[in-house]
Amino acid sequence: MAYSVGILGCGVMGQSFLSAVQKCRVLGTAEEKQKLPTKFYTTNHNEESARNVKCVLQENIKKISKEEQLLNSLGFDEYECYTGKDNLKLIEKSDVVLFSIKPYQMEEVFNQIKQANISLDDKVFISLVAGWTIDSMRELLNNKKMVITRLMTNTPAKFGEGAVVVSHTGDEELLSKWKGRLNFMIEQLGIMVELPESKMDAATALVGSGPAFVLNFLEAMVDAGLKMGIPYKESYMLALKTVEGTAKMGQLTNYTHPSVLKHQVCTPGGTTIAGLVEMDNRGVKAGVINGITEAARVASELGKKK
């Protein structure tokens, strides 16, 4: 069944979502493409950003296909970019609506939707918005039946390299109709796990904010290389490959506990244990744990600030 997707708030994350889905639309098999939307609508706050979304996506396609193809030659039946004033038009035209506006913009937009009296039972709402619970969305919409999915991912999702946490809710019959297609579309963002919605604030901290934490560590590694006289580019390349290689090693050893892999690097009386002890003295590990749990605490507060 052909279906349409509207991205309400097509900024950093909305564009990441579109880029990942678009990549499969361009490169996927015929069977895969059948599970993806054929029509896309997007809204942005202002006219210039709305126009820019189309340019960004056209550029993406050129990069993926390495050919001068046009959006409409790639199996997109329809593609339109609106401004925030047309959010209701986007919702009316879309079977699935992805909300990727900021948390403080949600209440106004949801009130607009409620006042417009659009029939919602056959629509699917997906929210990427940190802190907003499914219950709070259902309450504002006064709808108990429709499928509402919460999604948390991160900026690497743009390249299909995201970590994704998803929770689906809604009427059982509607869910069974949609779940397969929604999961296939969402899997284009990266590795996906389904968890209860109660874990979404934790996911927001670990996954959503995660790239910034990893980049903070990476920046420190690059700076350390520079301090020891390694030129910037070489320092960045080496630090990046060390992070990437270590991440892959975790996967390739079937998720062997990090402490076991860490032990393999430590020569008695050697460099690594000296470095680790110094980092422990400076509270690096406790700082990371406290930083991530503090991010989760803030996530739990975001939906309450109305």
- Give me the residues that bind ligand A1CAB (CB under 6 A), please: 130, 204, 208-209
Is 5 labelled a binding residue? no
Residue nearest to ligand A1CAB (CB): 208
- DSSP output for 190-227: EEEEE--GGGHHHHIIIIISHHHHHHHHHHHHHHHHHH
Footprint (CB under 6 A) of ligand NDP, residues 109-128: 109, 128
Q: Pick from 169, 118, 170, 171: which is nearest to 8 by CA?
A: 118
Provide the phi-psi class of 103: left if phi over 0, else alpha when psi is between -120 and 50, else beta: alpha
Is position 11 an interface residue for ligand NDP (rule: CB under 6 A)?
A: yes
- Maximum separation of any 2 CA atoms in the chain, in Å: 71
Footprint (CB under 6 A) of ligand NDP, residues 169-228: 208
Is 88 labelled a binding residue? no
Task: Decide: 214 and 243 in contact? Cβ < 8 Å.
Answer: yes
As to burial, measured by CB atoms within 10 angstroms (0-12 exposed, 13-18 middle, 19+ buried), residue 266 is middle
Choose among ligand NDP, ligand A1CAB, none what residue 94 binds, the Cβ cut-off being 5 to 8 Å by kind. none
Nearest CB to ligand NDP, comparing residues 12 and 247? 12
How far apart CA 152 and CA 132 sit, in angstroms, is 11
Nearest CB to ligand NDP, comparing residues 51 and 282? 51
State in angstroms the smallest separation of the CB of 56 from ligand NDP. 11
Among 5, 10, 71, 141, the residue binding ligand NDP under the rule CB under 6 A is: 10
Nearest CB to ligand A1CAB, comparing residues 204 and 235? 204
Footprint (CB under 6 A) of ligand NDP, residues 19-78: 43-46, 49
State in angstroms the smallest separation of the CB of 13 from ligand A1CAB. 8
CA dist list (Å): 1 to 21, 106, 178: 17, 30, 10
How far apart CA 244 and CA 249 sit, in angstroms, is 9
Is position 250 an interface residue for ligand NDP (rule: CB under 6 A)?
A: no
Is 10 labelled a binding residue? yes
Is 290 labelled a binding residue? no
Joined tokens for residue 99: 């909300």
State in angstroms the smallest separation of the CB of 157 from ligand NDP. 8
Nearest CB to ligand A1CAB, comparing residues 22 and 209? 209
Is 9 labelled a binding residue? yes
Q: Pick from 118, 95, 113: which is nearest to 36 by CA?
A: 95
Q: Taking contact as CB under 6 A, which single stretch among the options 140-148, 150-158, 191-199, 235-243 is the one that binds ligand NDP?
A: 150-158
**Residues facing residue 224 across a β-bridge:** none
State in angstroms the smallest separation of the CB of 164 from ligand A1CAB. 13
Task: Decide: 103 and 133 in contact? Cβ < 8 Å.
Answer: no
Q: Taking contact as CB under 6 A, which single stretch among the options 5-13, 134-142, 182-190, 290-298 is the one that binds ligand NDP?
A: 5-13
Q: What are phi and psi of 102, to 5 degrees?
A: -75, 155
Nearest CB to ligand A1CAB, comparing residues 58 and 155? 155
* DSSP label at residue 74: T
How far apart CA 83 and CA 43 sit, in angstroms, is 5
How far apart CA 120 and CA 74 sit, in angstroms, is 30
Choose among ligand A1CAB, ligand NDP, none what residue 13 binds, the Cβ cut-off being 5 to 8 Å by kind. ligand NDP
* DSSP label at residue 77: S
* Binding residue positions for NADP(+): 8-13
Binding site for ligand NDP (CB under 6 A): 8-14, 43-46, 49, 84, 87, 100-103, 105, 109, 128-130, 152-155, 208
